[in-house]
């Protein structure tokens, strides 16, 4: 393929795995990342896995001159836009910071794309747009509800912006991918999720507890209306997730998209409870977890999982890795990171 793929947030958790797979598939990759939630060492991991050196801009997309410069200096053919802040709790305390970063970065990247004739854009959306669904599993037609956090609202507003833009610009093609709960790491353990500070998400908290960084895992509530009383999510392996991005990108390049704004759920279609994740982790790794059941975490939804039929049929993509496989790679990454990068 001639021309580059711009991966914004390409040193972050999902972006680094996507950049790696793109390089392995022969794409030329340009990364922009301001390191606000990532580290340069991830770049070494990408280079070790692929044997290639992507071009990297350590710059901030909130500055409109940054995407303009990148588009000017590189023959960009598509953008995969991962760059955003993602901590739900922090977004409640610092809403402006979230709206500013997530929406300015998006708008600046979109404007530069239009100015430089880039026609293909993939956006990282989230199952958070469905809130607490009334019917399960959720399809792409399930109602998008009022967001429960500023973070969630940035995803909803971003999808509105993309809807309006693709209505106005018929030759600009967008695919919005609604991720469920991505977990796990690259099978080499050279890249993975790198939460700065105390993790909010379940799986990094589990691996840090198993490693002894955290004393005890708290299970937030066991009085939900679910078979074992703990909340249910659709945990999807990071490699399955990024494979869907390649398929989506190729769909845009070939021009197979049925409309210029398409939305796909990326999930496994299987719900797993918190206790099931803990059990699967212990089974996959042989490590016992120290955990305690505590009160509910405010704002948590009770249960959500995807109907991935649209992505299965239209993209020809299906999540194939098991929960245990993902938890094993997450654990391998935690150990590799602590032994090699945690200096």
Of residues 27, 151, 224, 235, which has the active-site annotation? 151
**DSSP for 105-116?**
HHHHHHHHHHHT
Task: Say whether 151 is catalytic.
Answer: yes
Binding to ligand NAD (CB under 6 A) within 180-199 occurs at 181-182
- 273 token code pair: 């409870």
DSSP state, residue 138: B
- Cβ pair 330, 185 in contact under 8 A: yes
118 binds ligand NAD (CB under 6 A): no
Q: Of these partners, ligand NAD, ligand WQD, none, which one is at the site of residue 220 (CB under 5 to 8 Å by kind)?
A: ligand WQD
Stretch that binds ligand WQD, among 3-11, 100-108, 199-207, 309-317 (CB under 6 A): 199-207
Which of ligand NAD, ligand WQD, none does residue 92 bind (CB under 5 to 8 Å by kind)? none
Per residue, what are the HEC states of 116-177? Answer: CCCCEEEEEEEHHHHCCCCCCCECCCCCCCCCCCHHHHHHHHHHHHHHHHHHHCCCCEEEEE
119 binds ligand WQD (CB under 6 A): no
The piece of 31-39, 91-99, 197-205, 327-335 that touches ligand WQD (CB under 6 A) is 197-205
The residue within the footprint of ligand NAD, chosen from 4, 6, 7, 13 (CB under 6 A), is 13
According to CB under 6 A, which one of 5, 21, 29, 32 is a site residue for ligand NAD?
A: 32
φ, ψ dihedrals at 81, nearest 5°: -100, 100
Contacts with ligand NAD, 82-101, as mask; x by CB under 6 A:
xxx-x--------------x
Contact 102, 125 (CB under 8 A): no
Q: What's the closest the beta carbon of residue 158 comes to ligand WQD, in angstroms?
A: 11
Instruction: Kindly tell me which of 1 and 139 has the beta carbon lying closer to ligand NAD.
Output: 139
| Minimum distance from residue 218 beta carbon to ligand WQD (Å) | 5
Q: Does 149 bind ligand NAD (CB under 6 A)?
A: no
Rule CB under 6 A: say whether 18 interacts with ligand WQD: no
Which DSSP letter does residue 320 get?
Answer: -
The runs of H, that is alpha helices, within 212-322 are: 238-254, 274-285, 309-310
Distance between CA atoms of 97 and 154, rounded to whole angstroms?
11
**Residue whose CB is nearest to ligand NAD in the complex, by number:** 12
Q: Which residues contact 134 (CB under 8 A, 6 or more apart)?
A: 143
d(CA 253, CA 78): 9
Q: Which residues are annotated as catalytic?
A: 151
């Amino acid at each position: 393929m001639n021309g580059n793929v711009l991966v914004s947030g390409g040193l972050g958790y999902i972006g680094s795995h996507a950049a790696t797979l793109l390089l392995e598939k022969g794409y030329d990759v340009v990364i922009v990342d301001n390191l606000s939630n990532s580290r340069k060492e991830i770049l070494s991991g990408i280079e070790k896995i692929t044997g290639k050196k992507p071009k990297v801009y350590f710059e901030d997309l909130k500055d409109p001159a940054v995407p303009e410069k990148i588009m000017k200096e590189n023959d960009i053919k598509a953008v995969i836009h991962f760059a955003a802040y993602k901590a739900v709790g922090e977004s409640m305390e610092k809403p402006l910071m979230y709206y500013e970063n997530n929406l300015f970065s998006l708008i600046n990247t979109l404007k530069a794309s239009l100015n430089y004739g880039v026609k293909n854009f993939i956006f990282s959306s989230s199952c958070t747009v469905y809130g607490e669904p009334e019917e399960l599993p959720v399809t792409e037609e399930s109602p998008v509800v009022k967001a429960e956090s500023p973070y969630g609202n940035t995803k909803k507003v971003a999808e509105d912006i993309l809807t309006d833009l693709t209505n106005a610009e018929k030759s600009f093609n967008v695919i919005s991918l609604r991720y469920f709960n991505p977990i796990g790491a690259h099978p080499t353990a050279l890249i993975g999720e790198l939460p700065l500070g105390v993790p909010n998400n379940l799986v990094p908290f589990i691996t840090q507890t198993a490693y002894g960084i955290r004393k005890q895992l708290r299970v937030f509530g066991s009085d939900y209306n679910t078979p074992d009383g703990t909340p249910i999510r659709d945990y999807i392996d990071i490699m399955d997730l990024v494979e869907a991005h390649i398929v989506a990108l190729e769909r845009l390049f070939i021009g197979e998209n049925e409309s210029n704004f398409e939305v796909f759920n990326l999930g496994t279609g299987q719900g797993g409870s918190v206790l099931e994740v803990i059990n699967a982790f212990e089974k996959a790794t042989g490590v016992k977890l120290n955990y305690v059941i505590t009160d509910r975490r405010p704002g948590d939804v009770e249960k959500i999982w995807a109907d991935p039929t649209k992505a299965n049929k239209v993209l020809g993509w299906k999540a194939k890795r098991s929960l245990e496989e993902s938890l094993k790679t997450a654990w391998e990454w935690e150990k590799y990171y602590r032994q090699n990068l945690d200096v």
